[in-house]
Amino acid sequence: MFDRKSVIERNNKGILKKQIVAAAIVMVCLLSAVLFTDASDAESAPASAPEIKFWVYENNDWVAYSGHGYYAGQAIANSGLTFTWGTESYYGTTLSGADFTYQYQSGGNTYTNINPYYGKIATVNNSSDFTVYRYANGNWNPISSDSGLSVMGFYKPFDDYQLASANIAFVPSNVSPNTIPTGQLAHVYNVIPAQGNPDSAYEVTFHIGNNTYTGYGSDCAHALKNALDSNNVPNTIDLRMVYNVNYGTDENPDWVTVVNNSWYGFVTQIGNQSMGTAYSYVYDEYLDVTHVFYHYLYWSLHLGNDITWSSESAFMLGFMSPLSYVPSTPSGVQLLEQDEFTFVFDEFDYDWYEDGDTREDPRP
């Protein structure tokens, strides 16, 4: 690098001075260009709920309705599009696509869970004749190709996520999705840039044992994955929002698409400590019963820098985010906006009696 001041002082007149000063200016300009290029891939997180567009075919033309939300299910509700929510029966309860969470009773207690049918749509512009598409990787694809997903509510415009998209289209049966214009698509945000630093809005802190890690993600599960990978800590984290499950047999498979409302962001391994179960059995021949002992090792998730019982999280990491516009929860239920957690490798024992000699029963 030239020291512009010393060069000018040593060369206080003549052509040589002009040439060196010009060269110094060129060097500064080139350096500025290089620095700008290195940081150009880093972008700020949206300060408020990001835009998601909903494309519909009206009067022989495509029209985009803009809504804002962390998920497409939030954004469509304020987009101005005429539509009706769909419903679905779930373990005997009718769930509406309008609701991000639902509550249920078990053992006399009330619990809150994520609605697997969030964003289910019945009609658009008074018609049910449509297929839902999303724009990703330069193409319009039916959401049914996303492991058979049937609801559009969980798509969000952040590229670190399995269902990343900021553009949802409701395509009538007699119209090709290839006719949808691609010049004014809503933006998908780059969370972990190839160059530059991630926006601190995506930052999440994790306390694990005697260590504290910081990671970045559009949700806290991706932030944990980023934190552990960046520090070369082995880990297993469920980052699937949807997947297929075989409820049949190998001979007669019955594949069902599952929206991962219970385990998205579930952690089974950090470092050399992994979740595990162990069973032991004592058979009482006189009473003809088997006493089963169950030992469970797992990573318990706590909010903030705390490990009290009251700080345990009611939700998996994947449904929480450091961003302020994540969906709200019912009154009295834990907020989904979170940016600090503590993990504890915990265990508990449980035992029960079974009729007969069940010691040979296969166990998971």
How does DSSP assign 296-316, residue by residue? EEEEEEEESS--SGGGB-SS-
> Taking Cα atoms as reference points, which of 195, 200, 198 lies closest to residue 35?
195
Residue 304 lies inside a defined structural domain of this protein: yes
Residues 19, 73 within the same domain: no
Could you say which of 145, 179, 213 is where a domain stops?
179
More confident residue, 257 or 199: 199
Residue 73, C-beta contacts closer than 8 angstroms, at least 6 positions apart: 97, 98, 100, 118, 119, 151, 152, 153, 154, 327
Residue 362 lies inside a defined structural domain of this protein: no
Q: How far apart are CA 270 and CA 236, in angstroms?
A: 7
Please give the single-letter amino acid code of residue 174: N
Cross-strand bridge partners of residue 186: none
Sole residue written with tokens 């769909």: 86
Residues 285, 326 within the same domain: yes
* pLDDT given for residue 40 in this prediction: 56
Handedness of CA 6, 9, 10, 16 (dihedral sign): positive
Question: Do 168 and 180 touch, CB atoms closer than 8 A?
Answer: no
> Taking Cα atoms as reference points, which of 44, 261, 23 lies closest to residue 153?
261
Question: Do 81 and 165 touch, CB atoms closer than 8 A?
Answer: no
Q: Percent of the chain beyond pLDDT 90? A: 70
Residues 249, 283 within the same domain: yes
Residues 55, 107 within the same domain: yes
Residue 148 lies inside a defined structural domain of this protein: yes
Residues 62, 136 within the same domain: yes
Residue 360 lies inside a defined structural domain of this protein: no
| 242's tokens | 């949807």
By residue range, what is the domain housing residue 16?
A: 4-39
Residues 167, 240 within the same domain: no
Residues 114, 32 within the same domain: no
3-state secondary structure of 207: strand
Residues 149, 294 within the same domain: no
Q: How far apart are CA 162 and CA 249, in angstroms?
A: 28
The total of structural domains in the chain comes to 3
DSSP state of 198: P
Residues 160, 242 within the same domain: no
Handedness of CA 49, 158, 255, 360 (dihedral sign): negative
- Parallel, antiparallel, or unpaired for β 203-208 and 340-355? parallel
Question: Do 183 and 189 touch, CB atoms closer than 8 A?
Answer: no
Residue 350, C-beta contacts closer than 8 angstroms, at least 6 positions apart: 293, 294, 296
Residue 71 lies inside a defined structural domain of this protein: yes
pLDDT at 212 over 90: yes
Residue 278 lies inside a defined structural domain of this protein: yes
DSSP H or E segment with residue 142: strand 139-142
Residues 158, 88 within the same domain: yes
Query: pLDDT (tens digit, 9 = 90+) per residue, 143-174?
Result: 998 877 889 999 999 999 999 999 999 999 99
More confident residue, 13 or 255: 255
pLDDT at 313 over 50: yes
Residue 194 lies inside a defined structural domain of this protein: no
Q: What is the mean pLDDT of the chain?
A: 87
pLDDT at 7 over 80: no
Residues 167, 273 within the same domain: no
> Taking Cα atoms as reference points, which of 241, 298, 236 lies closest to residue 264?
241
H helix intervals, 244-358: none
Residues 73, 164 within the same domain: yes
* pLDDT given for residue 361 in this prediction: 54
* pLDDT given for residue 233 in this prediction: 98
Q: How far apart are CA 152 and CA 134, in angstroms?
A: 9
Residue 68 lies inside a defined structural domain of this protein: yes
| 338's tokens | 């979170």
What value does the mean pLDDT take over residues 69-88?
A: 98
